[in-house]
Amino acid sequence: MITRRSFIKSVSLSLPFTLNNNAFSKKQTLYNRGIDIDPAEEQRKQASAKYLFTFSSPYKSSQYLATPHVHKELKLIIEEQTNNKVYVNIADGGQHGVGSSLANHVKFNLSQGALLSIANLAPICPAIDLINIPYWCNSDNKFLALFKNPSWIDHIDAQLRKHNLTLLFPYLTGSRTASTLRHYNKPLSNPSDLQGINIRVSNSQALAKFYEIAGANVQNIMWGLAAKTARRKRYEALDSGVIGLFSGPDNLKLEIGTITRIDSVQDAWVAIANNEFLASLDSKTRSQFNNAIDSISEIQRTAYLNCDKYCSTEFQAQGTKIVELTDEQKLAFINRFGPDRAEWKPFIKEHLGGEGFTLFNQLREYLLAFS
């Protein structure tokens, strides 16, 4: 996962990061945040560790039932598999911001890793936004498979390296929806239902193009303001996945009236890391760290399935209507917005270069083997 052939070539090795105990405080660590730890043991591990890996996340560790962030697993597995050479500090609950601010936090090594939506990487890594073209990489298996494809890896890594970042692993959180707020409260079950609606969209050119094709009015509203602007009726709809809607900041879940699972694209999150930190690890620890990341990625899938079920049940309990499309309705969405639409050709060329359409078709062919 982390050890790409291109990564080894690109990062100049620096001196190992030496743990500075003065960098820690109880506020930064996981005390009283839903993870059972012994403070005295944590202090011992901090003092004896060689490397610090601060992992920043917008989500609270205590919300593990609704959010598959796997904070606890990430901390325990990395520390165990590196024989405590790497001490993991989870900076949860948005301590270091949310969204694109987290990418900058990692870029400048203020945090060594972070969890964020793929859409927040699109401004600095345009190629990654291709994943938000509807109906070519919308299933869980296709999403995971794409991030193991060598051609995709090369295009993504090359752009991320320019910003001192490496992608650790993709998070599964389910596909995006067409959801409406309580003040609108009409399900969006057909492409025509999107015509003229005000829809909040994340910082993704592909998603904006998707809803422009639909005739919707795209509202670019920061995720942290989604609930506040919903209460002010600034928009009627948004497209986050079920887990994202439920776990969104400022009790966004209370504003959701209907959820239609249109399964257009993955509501994709990723874990990223700082290149200088990765390069500072001695070879044995780097190998152990990589193995730990692989283990965490496997565990995260199970966490996602449990969280999706939990969030769906809770939404229904609060009166939010969840709509499943018929096969005929799904086909209408695919025909209206899918990757064969002429509108996507210039977008693909812009994001992948002159041979972009050939590469995109190769990636589509590659994913046909995955359900």
CATH number at residue 204: 3.40.190.170
| The predicted structure's pLDDT at residue 337 | 95
Number of domains in the chain: 2
| The predicted structure's pLDDT at residue 34 | 53
Contacts of 95-104 with CB under 8 Å at 24 or more apart are 95/28, 95/56, 96/56, 97/56, 97/58, 98/58, 98/223, 98/224, 98/249, 99/58, 99/203, 99/222, 99/223, 99/224, 100/203, 102/56, 102/58, 103/163, 103/165, 103/272
Domain that holds residue 206: 178-266+311-367
**pTM of this prediction?**
0.85
Annotate 69-80 with b (16+ C-beta within 10 A) or e (fewer). bbbbbbbbbbbe
Say if residue 163 is in the same domain as residue 190. Answer: no
Annotate 90-127 with b (16+ C-beta within 10 A) or e (fewer). bbbbbebbbbbbbbbbbbebebbbbbbbbbbbbebbbb
Question: How far apart are the C-alpha atoms of 328 and 166, rounded to whole Å?
Answer: 40
Say if residue 164 is in the same domain as residue 202. Answer: no
| The predicted structure's pLDDT at residue 10 | 31
| The predicted structure's pLDDT at residue 357 | 87
Say if residue 91 is in the same domain as residue 38. Answer: yes
Q: Are 186 and 258 in contact (CB under 8 A)?
A: yes
Say if residue 120 is in the same domain as residue 203. Answer: no
Say if residue 224 is in the same domain as residue 332. Answer: yes
| The predicted structure's pLDDT at residue 27 | 35
| The predicted structure's pLDDT at residue 35 | 63
| The predicted structure's pLDDT at residue 275 | 97
Say if residue 63 is in the same domain as residue 144. Answer: yes
| The predicted structure's pLDDT at residue 38 | 82
Say if residue 229 is in the same domain as residue 347. Answer: yes
Question: How far apart are the C-alpha atoms of 17 and 23, rounded to whole Å?
Answer: 12
What's CA 318's distance to the chain center, in Å? 26
| The predicted structure's pLDDT at residue 5 | 35
Say if residue 251 is in the same domain as residue 362. Answer: yes
| The predicted structure's pLDDT at residue 14 | 28
| The predicted structure's pLDDT at residue 176 | 95
Say if residue 315 is in the same domain as residue 305. Answer: no
Say if residue 86 is in the same domain as residue 116. Answer: yes
Q: Which residue has the tokens 């070539």?
A: 9
Q: Are 137 and 265 in contact (CB under 8 A)?
A: yes
Low-confidence ranges of the chain (pLDDT < 50): 1-33
| C-alpha to C-alpha distances, 269 to 22, 25, 85, 353, nearest whole angstrom | 32, 28, 27, 25
Say if residue 302 is in the same domain as residue 196. Answer: no
| The predicted structure's pLDDT at residue 119 | 86
Say if residue 163 is in the same domain as residue 243. Answer: no
